Amino acid sequence: MLSGFLTLAQEGSLIGNTGLALAGIGIGIGLVVSGGAKGIGNIAGKAVESIARQPEAGGRIGTNMIIAAALIEGFTFFALIIAILLKP
């Protein structure tokens, strides 16, 4: 397993403009994913709270939660696609 790590480390000798560009893309992806995860976490928290408050509406609330989460994930994936397109 150590040799596996070593092979991974040897490929990562990117310095200069290409390395900086890739690092920038990585940071960008991290920011976008953290924004999306915070948004979906908000929805999930409020949905679970409202199900606890009114268990009979649990089915409808759950359905709307899934729909909203999928829409927010759509925006997150936009950023992923642009990051793949920008890779030098």
User: What are the residues binding other proteins (CB under 8 A)?
Assistant: 1, 3-5, 7-8, 66-67, 70-71, 73-74, 77-78, 80-81
Nearest residue (CB) to other proteins, 27 versus 78: 78
Closest approach, Cβ 77 to other proteins, in A, equals: 3
Cβ-based nearer residue to other proteins, 4 or 16: 4
CA distance to 34, 56, 85, per residue, from 47 (Å): 20, 13, 35
Rg (CA), the chain: 20
What is the Cα–Cα distance from 66 to 35, expressed in whole angstroms? 17
69 touches 44 (CB < 8 A): yes
Query: How far is Cα 85 from Cα 76, in angstroms, rounded to an integer?
Result: 15
Least distance in angstroms from the C-beta of 28 to other proteins: 15
CB of 84 to other proteins, least distance (A): 8
Whose Cβ is closer to other proteins: residue 24's or residue 78's? 78
